[in-house]
Amino acid sequence: MTTNLAGTDRPSPSPPTPAPADRPRATLVVRPGTHGPRLVFYRQAADADYWDRLWDDQPVDYRRARGGHLPPHLRRAVRRHLRPGGRVLEAGCGPGEFSVAMAARGFTAEAVDWAPRTVERLRTAAPELRVWQGDVRRLDAPDGYYDAVYSPGVCEHFVEGPHEVLRETLRVLRPGGIALVSTPCFSPMLRVGSMLRVGSMLRVGSMLRVSPMLRRGPERGAGEFYQYAFTPAELTVVLREVGFERVRAHPYGALATVLEFTGPGRAVAARVERRRLRVLEAGLDLLGAAHLSGRACLWVARRPDPSPPGQPSRTADPAQAPVTVEEERSA
């Protein structure tokens, strides 16, 4: 169930696959909410068949993942919060490059997705992993089983909202365990753009129609619900509501927003292969540009640990080495 938009969590980024002629264009609608607006994409339902067809069209090369490669935002989070030897679940794994890379880094990695062909391909490519078909809202795992859970662009695809997915993530984490949650980001750049264009309709490329007006539902004939994009503050509040603590939001993919949503950026994207822009993309994120225009955001959150100070955290398997959780030093 990994999102396929530029800037999301594919460890080996590649240009987006052109949509078939019969695929509905995406309509984006700004929807107000309790904790601020979110961006709503209407295109087609992201069900299991959708993801199988998507990944059927995008062959995956696992060579970099088998060497332990992770994109910079994940590499920083893993180094800071996790110690090799922990048990990690990729919940909504898609092709599962993250799980392959984490296994190469010394973790006990497991993966689950609800798209059957996608699951079988990952089993064939990485037989050393435990991979199963299932629903991320009802995981086949006991309470407190994992040291970390990575949700790679999953919880935004449920029209009822992300709460159920995040509660289940909390349940299967051990006390003190870490959730890494990535979704598309409704960045300040997109929010300002929507306000500047109230009442207008902006054409973006050949696939996308943006409706910046504040609405509570899609335009007539705009297609089925596809996904949300959250502001960093909004999903931070949701994570705290379901029971997480020490929540930090880390936007990334500043260049991807420019390439997808601006005229000059689309012109560059049409002429330059995305892989040639990786150094520029990484540099912009390191300079902090992602806080203004990040295409996605990674939230790092901790399940509270009620263990007395100095006592080890309770885990489902006492023999399992606990993950060291470092204190956050920056917002």
* DSSP letter string, 201-244: -EEETTTEEEEEEE-SSPPTT--EEEEEEB-HHHHHHHHHHHT-
The parent domain of residue 59 ranges over 26-198+206-252+292-302
CATH number at residue 162: 3.40.50.150
**Does the residue 2 lie in any domain?**
no
**Does the residue 163 lie in any domain?**
yes
Long-range contacts from 167-171, C-beta under 8 angstroms, 24+ separation: 167/242, 167/243, 168/136, 168/137, 168/138, 168/139, 169/91, 169/136, 170/242, 170/243, 170/244, 170/303, 171/139, 171/143
The per-residue pLDDT for range 112-136, each reduced to its tens digit, is: 999 999 999 999 999 999 999 999 9
Pairing of strands 26-31, 224-229: unpaired
Distance CA 31, CA 29 (A): 6
The per-residue pLDDT for range 205-246, each reduced to its tens digit, is: 222 334 333 233 444 335 788 899 999 999 999 999 999 999
Instruction: Tell me, yes or no, if the pTM score tops 0.85.
Output: no
Kindly indicate the confidence band of residue 260, based on its pLDDT and cuts at 50, 70 and 90. confident
**Does the residue 269 lie in any domain?**
no
b/e burial code for range 65-76 (CB count within 10 A of at least 16 → b): beebbbbebbee
pLDDT of residue 212: 36
pLDDT of residue 262: 73
Residue carrying structure tokens 């090799």: 84
DSSP 8-state secondary structure symbol assigned to residue 185: B
Number of independent structural domains in the chain: 1
Distance CA 218, CA 210 (A): 11
Give the residue from 81, 46, 58 showing the smallest Cα distance to 12.
58
Residue 108's φ and ψ, nearest 5 degrees, are -90, 100
Spatial neighbors of 47 by CB under 8 A, at least 6 apart, are: none
**Does the residue 278 lie in any domain?**
no
**Does the residue 153 lie in any domain?**
yes
**Does the residue 92 lie in any domain?**
yes
Give the residue from 152, 251, 153, 265 showing the smallest Cα distance to 208.
265
Spatial neighbors of 160 by CB under 8 A, at least 6 apart, are: none
Structure tokens at 315: 């885990």
**Does the residue 313 lie in any domain?**
no
**Does the residue 194 lie in any domain?**
yes
